[in-house]
Amino acid sequence: MSPKAIRPDTSDGHRGVGPLIPPLAESQRPLRQQVFELVRAAGLIPRVQVAKDLGVSPASVTTISSELIEAGLIEEVSAPRENEAGRGRPAVALGVRAQACLVAGMKLSDREHTAVIVDFAGKLIADDVIPRRPGPMSLAEILDAVQTLLERVCMKAGVDRSALSALGLGVPGFVDCAEGMVFWSSVLAERSIPLAAAISARLGLPAYVDNDANLVALAELWFGAGRSLSDFAVVTIEHGVGMGFVMNHRIYRGAQRVGMELGHMKVQLDGALCRCGQRGCLEAYIADYALAREASTALNWGHKESQPINVLLESLYDHAKAGNATAKSIFRRAGRYLAVGLSNVVNLFDPSLIILSGERMRYDYLYAAETLAEMDNLAINTGRPRPPIEIHAWGDLLWAHGAAALALSEVSETILSSQGREIAAQ
């Protein structure tokens, strides 16, 4: 294909130049939504502070907050003034009305399924975990598992399923969140499944599905270390290798909404077989099954292949800690590949923070000093320090919290947009 020549427009028409940014784009959200999100992020905040933070008039904030209170989304909360206990009227702040709705968040994984129920303010009401058999599941089995787990966690919360406003769900693999479509997942036997629609039809409940690593990033953005950061990366290492990237306080998914698949970045041509079906993926050298495969070969552990993978990995880790050179070399090799992946994250995105998350982060050989030093060597040398790296060895409940945040985000945006249309029509 020959290059296309780009020439300036010389016509007399007023065609305009520069990027065409749609009205009310991500950076220009309606003021009503900005007010609500600021109140939700702050917990409690006076009206005057909302006006100051958003750079709008107090009168505008008063009008919008009254509308949000009337809609039952936020409420006024009395709080004693600092250093003025018992004197005068208490200060009035705005806060999210926790009772406005309940949502569920759920993570489906290769080893177990987890679920939480949270209120509109993001407070945990109940959680539950159920084990699962290894191997991909059919859609019917997935739907049964989701329904069973949801009924269990609702029972723990003391609420009926009909009281929920939405369900957020995280699965490993290639997921289009906007369409609710799972193109491939290690927990699903079929490909290209409209999972969100199938769950909604089974449960009679709005369902939203996303890649599980995106939901870990969302959990950090809503509840964890990323709340005050505009740009950061989360790399998850468990049964697979995933990545969630936050750009300008929002999850970045790519043009077709299936981006940030760090685990399937190629690090070796015609290399080890990945569970996605291709060869040479980063995941095929770092994930659970990769470490187990190396252990079975290098340590002649073929007789242990029938053991659960977490038991085999614990044994491998114990051998490494006891000084077994072969076991240590397996972790060291995986750590070097991890350094390749992390250095590419730095070179491509320059995040303010990289969070390593997942159960495998208990295995400190993966992020030993040698690994981080190798990452420094592979990253572009600009003379500036590399971004800090934090280790978050959270359990699966963090992933479920991210799924709940997805549901809360979708529910609140739906309510706010419908309320805006009603007000505009008046």
Dihedral sign of CA atoms 223, 226, 230, 234 in order: negative
**Per-residue tokens: 126:** 């109940």
Residue 271 CB coordination number (10 Å): 15
**Per-residue tokens: 395:** 């359990």
In single-letter form, the type of residue at position 127 comes to D
Could you tell me which residues are beta bridge partners of residue 170? 107, 210
Residue 252 CB coordination number (10 Å): 17
Instruction: Please count the residues of the chain.
Output: 426
Burial 175-194 (b: 16+ CB within 10 A, else e): bbbeebbbebbbbbeeeebb
Give, rounded to a whole angstrom, the gap between the first and last alpha carbons of the chain. 55
Neighbour order of strands in the sheet with 207-211 = 124-131, 112-119, 102-108, 164-171, 207-211
Distance CA 316, CA 327 (A): 6
Of 305, 308, 264, the C-alpha closest to 285 is 264
Active site residue 176: no
Residue 121, H or E segment: none
Q: Which of 176, 210, 212, 231 is catalytic?
A: 212
HEC string of 295-338 equals HHHHCCCHHHCCCCHHHHHHHHHHHHHCCCHHHHHHHHHHHHHH
Would strands 102-108 and 174-176 be described as parallel, antiparallel, or unpaired? unpaired
Of 160, 260, 242, 172, the C-alpha closest to 209 is 172
Distance CA 253, CA 332 (A): 31
Neighbouring residues of 157: CB distance < 8 A, sequence distance ≥ 6:
102, 117, 125, 126
Does residue 286 sit in helix, strand or coil? helix
Reported as half-sphere exposure (CB side, CA atoms, 13 A), residue 4 has a value of 1
Question: Active-site residues: which are they?
Answer: 212
